[in-house]
């Protein structure tokens, strides 16, 4: 009997919205700013200042200290940068109906290269990998600070494929955001939009992964 080779070589997962809460999106920012009593015009100014330095932070162009100085501590605060950073970290939690069990099963099979392709600052990405034990399942980590690129930029998907050394149609990419899955599909990957564990299990069974 001839055994057919696997259809895919690698399976890449997003992290925020698939495994965990987002690291530092609008919901997480709102919760942290609330906890420090920052409201009204003060919050609006932080939101306005936040965009450019956080983009640079996720690409690892600046340090987290520089980000905090530019986005939060541009004026005196009643709390310290260390306290604010700790509050940022504490926003990370497993989401309900997440894909961590599927990630563990895929990794345990040892049939595919298993990795993440995500946007995150270095400090939050590495905290989340260690805190929630995700790193032990991964062969590769295509995180934005390591790539100096962010989804849904076409270059990040191309770079990941170049590093893997396989064509896009041999890679499955799982993300909760439509713009990210569309960009992955445009790069030739088999893209799956994550809406919950049960649906992802069905999708992967159809592809003979689970």
Per-residue pLDDT of the chain (210 residues; tens, 9 = 90+): 444 556 999 999 999 999 999 999 999 999 999 999 999 999 999 999 999 999 999 999 999 999 999 999 999 999 999 999 999 999 999 999 999 999 999 999 999 999 999 999 999 999 999 999 999 999 999 999 999 999 999 999 999 999 999 999 999 999 999 999 999 999 999 999 999 999 999 999 999 999
Identify whether residues 161 and 146 lie together within a single domain. yes
Q: Quote the tokens at residue 26.
A: 């609008």
Q: Which domain holds residue 34?
A: 26-90
Identify whether residues 82 and 155 lie together within a single domain. no
Establish if 123 belongs to a structural domain. Answer: yes
Can you tell me the distance from the alpha carbon of 47 to that of 55, in angstroms, rounded to the nearest whole number? 13
Give CA angle at 201 (19, 196), nearest 5°.
45
Can you tell me the distance from the alpha carbon of 19 to that of 102, in angstroms, rounded to the nearest whole number? 10
pTM score of the predicted model: 0.95
Last residue of a domain, one of 68, 90, 112: 90
Establish if 37 belongs to a structural domain. Answer: yes
Contact 182, 16 (CB under 8 A): no
Last residue of a domain, one of 69, 90, 111: 90
Q: Spell out the alpha helix ranges (H) of the chain.
A: 26-35, 40-58, 64-71, 81-90, 100-109, 122-131, 144-147, 154-164, 178-186, 197-206
Q: What are φ and ψ of residue 13, in 5° steps? A: -115, 145
Establish if 5 belongs to a structural domain. Answer: no
Identify whether residues 44 and 56 lie together within a single domain. yes
Give the number of domains in the chain.
2
Last residue of a domain, one of 52, 74, 90: 90
SS3 content of the chain, % helix, strand, coil (to 5): 50, 10, 35
């Amino acid at each position: 009997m001839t055994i057919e080779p696997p259809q895919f070589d690698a399976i890449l997962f997003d992290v925020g919205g698939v495994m965990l809460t987002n690291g530092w999106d609008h919901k997480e920012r709102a919760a942290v700013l609330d906890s420090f009593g920052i409201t009204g015009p003060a919050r609006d100014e932080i939101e306005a200042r936040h965009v450019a330095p956080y983009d640079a932070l996720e690409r690892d162009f600046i340090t987290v200290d520089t980000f905090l100085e530019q986005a939060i501590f541009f004026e005196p605060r009643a709390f310290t940068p260390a306290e604010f950073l700790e509050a940022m970290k504490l926003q990370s939690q497993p989401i309900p109906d997440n894909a961590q069990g599927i990630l563990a099963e895929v990794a345990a099979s040892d049939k595919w290269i298993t990795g993440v392709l995500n946007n995150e600052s270095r400090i939050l990405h590495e905290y989340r990998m260690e805190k929630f034990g995700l790193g032990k399942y991964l062969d590769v980590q295509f995180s934005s600070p390591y790539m100096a690129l962010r989804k849904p930029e076409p270059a990040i998907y191309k770079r990941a494929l170049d590093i893997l050394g396989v064509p896009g149609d041999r890679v499955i990419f799982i993300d909760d955001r439509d713009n990210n899955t569309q960009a992955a599909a445009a790069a030739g990957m088999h893209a799956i939009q994550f809406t919950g564990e049960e649906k992802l299990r069905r999708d992967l069974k159809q592809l003979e992964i689970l």
